[in-house]
Amino acid sequence: MPLRLFRSRNVAGANVIQALLVVGMFGMFFLGYMQRILDYGALEVGLAFLPATIVMGAMSFRFTGQLNLRFGPVATLLPGMVAIGVGMLLFAMTPVDADYWTDIMPAMGLFGLGAGLAFPSLMTLAMSGATESDSGLASGLVNTSVQVGGAIGLAVLATLATDRTDGLLADGVSNASALNSGYHFAYLIGAGLVALALVIAVGVLRSPEPAASGGETDERARRTEGEPAYSEAA
């Protein structure tokens, strides 16, 4: 992989931000809160995640592209990141006897909304900073940052959650409460990483300039060459 890709602040920034975002997302999916705390079965867990996937798909395929065109990918990305961070914080407050509709469903909706806004915008930013010849490499790099960031982040969150749980169990806390506290600790770290990604996004990313229309391009070319901007017929 040529290191020249990272000369673009959008390519480098988008990949770092995406790696940070997926840490919290992977933690939500794979740490097992609903299985181990709420005793959900496999089908129940799948249905519990269904609202997030529906909202994510609807935003990605129907709305995010239009928002990117109207407001720019950075302006679309930032609210999505905020939604993901708030969703992480809501998960960090779920009780041991959580009710799905009041304690989990709102966080799922925010995750879906945030991911549907953020990840297509990050892809747009990452690709905007690459040349045409490097577009394939830039696309592969984005996908790699998701997998590597998620795998490393999940391993770190699982380790920290386990250490937190083991410490509470040693202090005599009940198994369910200790597990829940360990998960909460992991979710708070994930929310902190989202906050860090938000800071990077504000400081590093820049929305690409909109492409000039054909008429504007022709007029600019004539002016550059010293020709009058009006047509001879006029």
Domain spanning 3-224: CATH superfamily: MFS general substrate transporter like domains (1.20.1250.20)
Quickly count: other Cβ atoms within 10 Å of residue 194's Cβ.
Answer: 26
CA distances from 62 to 52, 68, 106, 150 (A): 15, 12, 21, 26
80: tokens are 């999505």
Mean pLDDT of the chain: 84
Distance CA 18, CA 24 (A): 11
Mean pLDDT of 174-187: 92
Contact between residue 114 and residue 87 where contact means Cβ atoms under 8 Å apart:
yes
The answer to whether residue 88 scores a pLDDT higher than 60 is yes
pLDDT, tens digit, for every residue of 92-113?
A: 999 999 999 999 999 999 999 9
Residues above pLDDT 90, as percent of the chain: 58
